Structure 1
Amino acid sequence: MYGGNDDDYEERNRQLIFQGTQVLGRTGESLARSTQIAVETEQIGNEVVSELGEQRESLLRTRTRLEDANEQLNSAKSLLKSMSRNVIYNKLILILIIVLEILILATVSYLKFKP
Structure 2
Amino acid sequence: MSGPSWEDETRRTVLEGRAILERTAESLARSQHTAAETERVGEEVVSELGAQRETLLRSRQRLADTDNELSQTHVLLRKMKLHVFTNKIILIVIILLEICILAAVCYIKFFS
Q: Normalising TM by the smaller chain, what interval?
A: over 0.9
Following TM superposition, by how much is the alpha carbon of 1:55 offset from its aligned partner in structure 2, in angstroms? 0.3
Counterpart selection for 1:76 from 56, 73, 77:
73
Normalising by the residue count of structure 1, what TM-score does the alignment of the two structures yield? 0.92
Which of the numbers 93, 98, 108 marks the counterpart of 1:96?
Answer: 93
Shift of 1:66: 1.0
Deviation beyond 2 Å, 4+ runs, structure 1: 111-115
Matched length: 112
Question: Which residue does 1:17 correspond to in 2?
Answer: 14
Q: CA RMSD in A?
A: 1.0
Uncovered stretches (5+) of structure 1, i.e. residues with no partner: none
Residue of structure 2 equivalent to 1:52? 49
Q: Distance in 2 between matches of 1:101 and 1:51?
A: 73
Instruction: Please name the residue that 1:64 is paired with.
Output: 61
Pairwise CA distance, 1:106? 1.0
If the length of structure 2 is used for normalisation, what is the TM-score? Answer: 0.94
Q: CA deviation at 1:113?
A: 2.3
| CA shift digits 1:33-54 (9 cap, x unpaired) | 1011001101110110011001
Provide the rounded CA distance (Å) in 2 between the counterparts of 1:66 and 1:95: 43
Name 1:28's counterpart in structure 2: 25
Cα distance in 2 for residues equivalent to 1:8 and 1:66: 84
Q: Percent identity?
A: 50
2:40 pairs with 1:43: yes
Task: Give the structure 2 partner of residue 107 of structure 1.
Answer: 104
Give the Cα–Cα distance (whole angstroms) in 2 for the partners of residues 91 and 78 of structure 1: 20
1:98 and 1:24 map into 2 onto residues whose CA distance is 107
Which SS does the other structure have where 1:113 is aligned?
A: helix
Q: For 1:36 and 1:63, how far apart are their aligned partners in 2? A: 40
Question: Counterpart of 2:83 in structure 1: which amino acid?
Answer: N
